[in-house]
Amino acid sequence: MAFWALIFSGPVVGAERVASLNLCLDQILLAWLPPQNIVSVTWLSDQPQYRNGAIPEHIYRNRAQAEELLPLKPDLILTGQFGAQRAAARLEDLGFNLVRIPDAYSLEQLQLQLDALEKALGQLPALQQQKSRLQKLLVNKPESTGDTKPTALILSANNITYGSGMLEHQLLTRAGFSNLAAEQGINQLGRVSLEQVIDAAPDLLVFYGGAQDFAIAHLAEQHPVLKTYIESGRTYRLPAQLGYCPALAAADVLQQLQQKRMDLVEQP
């Protein structure tokens, strides 16, 4: 009941000093909110693997401790469903305006998350644009080109693949691909050997994460067969951001996968 109350409660008006206790929400504030309205994000957003640009010096890097936010006097604090619970409870007890934003592990949850962000932050132009893009992409499904769909297989570090029940699977299928991992009965995460990847012969091989993630943990990318995929343009790399903040990445990924499908279908 509390979750639905959050989703359908009225928007917070006039939040001029906003803080975050969650990595994804950090990224959203930094991308969509004017810098002068942000008083604090977590220290994680200042780490090289997460930093998308220079963070203004006036923005305090917190470690999810309630005491850190007290002198900053935020009029809105955003946190996730599960992290920083002790700090969140303490700040609520002290009378701060704290909103828990639901996490998103599916397209349906992602749409609810965007709705919750709109309730909390108001109708920000960037947020409205992202919601509109995602809705249009989900409505405009690829046209059928016969009984068969191009096949795809996701390969992450340590040969992890993504089956049904995952946001990554939904993006593949919404883009018009058949996910071979799901067809083989993998639910959520599974592991595939290099030989299985080669035998499956997907039309598109999808790597997950930045190149640095594969340098040691995933030497399979150096295999001659997989190099053939790379040289022929039959690969796509999911951004690492999709895993920890899909609100900022899902629409781009879906659009790019749809384009990739069109390119593959048009190949002789």
Q: List helix spans (H) across the chain.
A: 2-8, 23-32, 66-69, 85-93, 107-121, 125-139, 167-174, 180-183, 194-200, 224-231, 241-244, 246-266
Do 206 and 188 touch, CB atoms closer than 8 A?
Answer: no
Distance CA 61, CA 46 (A): 8
This model's pTM is above 0.75: yes
pLDDT of residue 89: 94
Structure tokens at 222: 């150096």
Q: Is residue 5 part of a domain?
A: no
Q: Which residues 6+ apart lie within 8 Å of 206 measured at CB?
A: 152, 153, 154, 155, 172, 235, 236, 237, 238
Same domain, 161 and 193: yes
Domain final position from 120, 137, 154: 137
Among candidate residues 110, 137, 164, the one where a domain is terminated: 137
Type of residue numbered 47 = Q
| pLDDT value, residue 179 | 95
User: pLDDT by residue for the chain (268 residues), tens digit each?
Assistant: 344 344 434 333 457 899 999 999 999 999 999 999 999 999 999 998 888 888 999 999 999 999 999 999 999 999 998 888 899 999 999 999 999 999 999 999 999 999 999 999 998 999 999 888 888 888 776 655 555 789 999 988 878 899 998 999 999 999 999 999 999 999 999 998 888 888 889 999 998 865 555 443 455 556 777 778 888 888 899 998 998 999 999 999 999 999 999 988 876 5
Is 4 part of a structural domain of the chain?
A: no
Distance, in Å, from the CA atom of 246 to the CA atom of 103, rounded to the nearest integer, reads: 10
Residue with tokens 């960037």: 126
Task: Supply 245's token pair.
Answer: 């903040």
What is the spatial distance between Cα 257 and Cα 238, in angstroms, rounded to a whole number? Answer: 9
Tell me which residue has tokens 């040289």. 231
Q: Considering the domain boundaries, does residue 259 fall inside one? A: yes
Residue 210 lies in a domain: yes
**CATH assignment of the domain containing 230:** 3.40.50.1980
Both 258 and 151 in a single domain?
Answer: yes
Separation between Cα atoms, residue 208 and residue 199, nearest integer Å: 20
The phi-psi region of residue 159 (left if phi > 0; otherwise alpha if psi is between -120 and 50; otherwise beta) is left
Q: Which residues of 148-170 are buried (b: 16+ CB within 10 A; e: fewer)?
A: ebbbbbbbbbebbbbbeebbbbb
Are 25 and 112 members of one domain? Answer: yes
Determine the straight-line distance between the first and last CA of the chain, rounded to whole angstroms: 54
Identify whether the C-beta of residue 208 lies closer than 8 Å to the C-beta of residue 156.
Answer: yes
Q: Are residues 155 and 258 in the same domain?
A: yes
Last residue of a domain, one of 108, 137, 166: 137
CA-wise closest residue to 20 among 48, 49, 40, 46 = 40
| Residues of the domain holding 150 | 143-266
Q: Which two tokens stand for residue 200?
A: 């499956």
Q: Which residues pair with 40 in a beta bridge?
A: 19, 60
**Domain tally, the chain:** 2
* Residue 8 is assigned to a structural domain of this protein: no
pLDDT of residue 3: 41
Q: Are the C-beta atoms of residues 99 and 76 closer than 8 Å to each other? A: yes
